[in-house]
Chains A and B, each alone.
Chain A
C-alpha cells in the first residue's frame, strides 16, 4: 500500500501568552513561538507507518510512505524528521504560509496525488494554527474519492479501510474503498487504533507516536526530498481567503477561591445565581 501524508509545520500555540498580535493587528506575531509539526499530522504519519508494516516488525516497510508539505525551506527539517521515523520519500512545495489558504493547499495536493497515485491519503483533521479543518474534505472532493474524517481507528481490509470516526453522538464506522482519504483525530495513536492486514489482531502499539533512533536520523539525510513550486502544481494560484486583521480575545479575570463546598454552593446560588 502506498500512503501519502500531508504534513504542515505550525507555530505551536501551546504557550498561550506567547501568541502576540503585531502592532496594527495585521498579523499574528510568531516570533518566540516554537515551530513544530502539526500534532494531528504527526499522528497521521504514525497511522501511515502502522498501515504499512507488521506491528511486530516495524523496521520492514510493507508499502511506501511519502510525506508532503507546503512551506518554506526551513520546513525541510520537519520532513527530515518524518523520514527518520520511517517515511520513504518527501516532497516540499516551496511557498510561504502567507501565500496559502485551504483552497490552494487542497489544489496543490490534488496535483501531487495525481502524480503519486497513492492508495491512501492520510492527514490531520486540522492544523492547530489556523484551526481551519477543511483541506482533507476539499481534497477528497477534488479527487472524487471517498473520505473518512476525524478517524479514531483504521483497519485495513481487502482494497478498503474500515474507519471509526469520532462524531458528535459517538463513533460512526464507515468503510471506504481505496483509493480513499482519511483525516485523523487524537485517538488514532492509541495502542489498538490502527491495524494493517499484516498486523495481528490484538497487537498492542506503544501509546503515541514513535521516535526515530539516531542511526535512522543519519540515514534520513540520504532519503529523497523533491522540491516543487506552487506555480507548476496550481497555475495562476491566487488567495481567496484574506485576513484583514487579528486580535487577542478578551481575557477572563481570575475569580475567587472558596474555602469549602458550602461556600461554593452559597456563591453559585446567591451571587452567580446559576443554580
Chain B
C-alpha cells in the first residue's frame, strides 16, 4: 500500500519550521485516498532535534538525511534525497513556502510526476485526490487531478491549520544522502541576508499590519509602533517594496506571501487584486485610506477614511492604552 511523504522544512539554524505542520495536515486529509501511512523526511546538517519534535505526529517513520552539504538548502542537493526517501510513496507534499515552491517541482520532474502547487484544499473523490488550486490571482479555484503514479503537491499554509500532535513516537531512521546530479556541483550557497526581527512570521501571525506606497520613507516609523502595540507581523504591498520602503519578504499578495490572520490592517494600500489575493482570507480586515473610493474598502470589514499619518499614530496610542 502506498504512503504519503511529507518533506519537513528547517530554518537555516536547523530548527523545525512551523510551516511543516501545515503539510502534515494536508497529508492527513489526503491519506484516505492514498491508503498507507504518513512518512516524514527531514534533511539538513543536524536533523536530530527537528526529527524528535516531529515524532509525535503519528508518522509511520521519520527518515533523517544528515550531511554537511545539506546545511544550507539547495534544491540540487535536496531533491535526489527526497526522491530516495519516496520509496513506496505515491504522494509527496510540502508547504508552499519559498522552500517548498523551489524544491517540490524539481522533485516532481525527477520522478516525471505531475505537480499541483499552492493548494487551498485537497479532497478524496471516487478514491482519487482532487486538488483545489487558487488561480488567476485568486479569482478562480481550479479543481484538478494528477494522473501520474507519483503525485507531488504543495499546501498553502494559510489554508491548512498546523497539525496537532497525535501521540505515540514515530521510529526515526537514518537515510544516506543520495548522490546528486551534476547540477549540485555547479551551485554554491553564498549567503542569506536575513531580515532579523523579533516579530512573529507573516505567515503565522495572528495580526498583520501592512503598509503601502503611501507610507513613503516613513514606512517603519509609522508601521513599527503599530505592529509593536498589537504584537503584529508587518507586511507591505508590492509598490512599497518596489520603492524600497520595505524589504521584499514583506510583500503580501498573489506573488508574495499569502496570509490569513485574525486581523489584517491595510494602511495606505489601494487594494489591487494582486494584493487582495494574498490577504482576503483574513478573518477581519481593516483598511485605512484617504480615498473613500479605494477598492480595498470593498473587502474591508471596517474602513476608516483618513490620512494615515494622523490615523495610525492615534490608533497606535489607543491600542497601547488597551494593552497597557
Report A's interface with B, CB cutoff 8 A: 11, 13-16, 19, 21, 28, 40, 101-103, 106, 125-126, 128-150, 152, 162, 165-177, 180, 185-187, 190, 207, 239-249, 252, 254-258, 260-262, 264-265, 267-269, 272, 274-275
Contact = CB atoms under 8 A, between A and B. Distances in A.
B273 A16 contact: yes
Interface of B is mostly: mixed
Given A141-B106, A170-B192, A174-B190, A268 B302 contact: yes
Contacts of B186: 145-146, 176-177, 180
Interface in B249-278: 249, 251, 254-255, 257, 262-263, 273, 276
Given A274-B262, A275-B319, A16 B137 contact: yes
Contact of B315 (A176, A242, A264): A264
8 contacts: A132-B117, A141-B106, A150-B101, A170-B193, A248-B139, A257-B303, A265-B319, A275-B322
Contact of A245 (B97, B98, B143): B143
Interface of B: 11-12, 74-76, 79, 97-99, 101-106, 108-110, 112-118, 130, 133-148, 181-184, 186-195, 201, 203, 207, 230, 238, 241-242, 247-249, 251, 254-255, 257, 262-263, 273, 276, 280, 283-286, 292, 297-306, 311, 314-315, 318-319, 322
A274 to B, nearest CB: 4
Contact of B139 (A136, A242, A249, A258): A249
B146 A240 contact: yes
Given A175-B188, A254-B300, A141 B79 contact: yes
B96 to A, nearest CB: 8
Nearest to A269: B322
Most chain A CB atoms below 10 A, which of B143, B191, B284, B301: B301
Contacts of A106: 109
Given A103-B109, A175-B187, A268-B302, 10 more contacts: A28-B140, A131-B134, A141-B183, A146-B184, A147-B76, A169-B195, A172-B193, A254-B303, A257-B302, A261-B311
Among A14, A140, A274: residue with most chain B CB under 10 A? A274
Given A180-B186, A258-B302, A274-B284, A265 B140 contact: no
Given A166-B248, A249-B139, A131 B254 contact: yes
B190 A162 contact: yes
User: Majority SS of interface residues in chain A?
Assistant: mixed
Contacts of A147: 75-76, 106, 183, 187
B144 A247 contact: no
A249 B109 contact: no
A268 B183 contact: no
A13 B273 contact: yes
Contacts of B142: 28, 130, 243, 245-246
B304 A131 contact: no
B253 to A, nearest CB: 10
Nearest to B147: A240
User: Nearest 10 pairs between A and B by C-beta?
Assistant: A255-B301, A137-B105, A134-B105, A141-B109, A146-B187, A138-B109, A177-B186, A19-B139, A173-B190, A240-B114
Contacts of B280: 252
B277 to A, nearest CB: 9
Contacts of B104: 137
B135 A260 contact: no
B304 A168 contact: no
A243 B144 contact: yes
A243 B74 CA distance: 31
B255 A137 contact: no
B117 A134 contact: yes
A265 B320 CA distance: 11
B145 A267 contact: no
A261 B315 contact: yes
Nearest to A131: B135
A251 to B, nearest CB: 8
Interface centre among B103, B230, B254, B304 (most CB of A within 10 A): B304
A128 B230 CA distance: 34
A274 B298 contact: no
Nearest to A124: B255
Contacts of A150: 98, 101-102
Contact of A170 (B109, B184, B194, B300): B194
A275 B263 contact: yes
Contact of B304 (A165, A173, A264, A269): A264
Contacts of B12: 169
Contacts of A186: 238, 241-242, 251, 255
B139 A13 contact: yes
Contacts of A261: 304, 306, 311, 314-315, 318
Contacts of A138: 105-106, 108-109, 115
Contacts of A146: 76, 183-184, 186-187
Contacts of A166: 98, 248-249
Contacts of A144: 181-183
B189 to A, nearest CB: 6
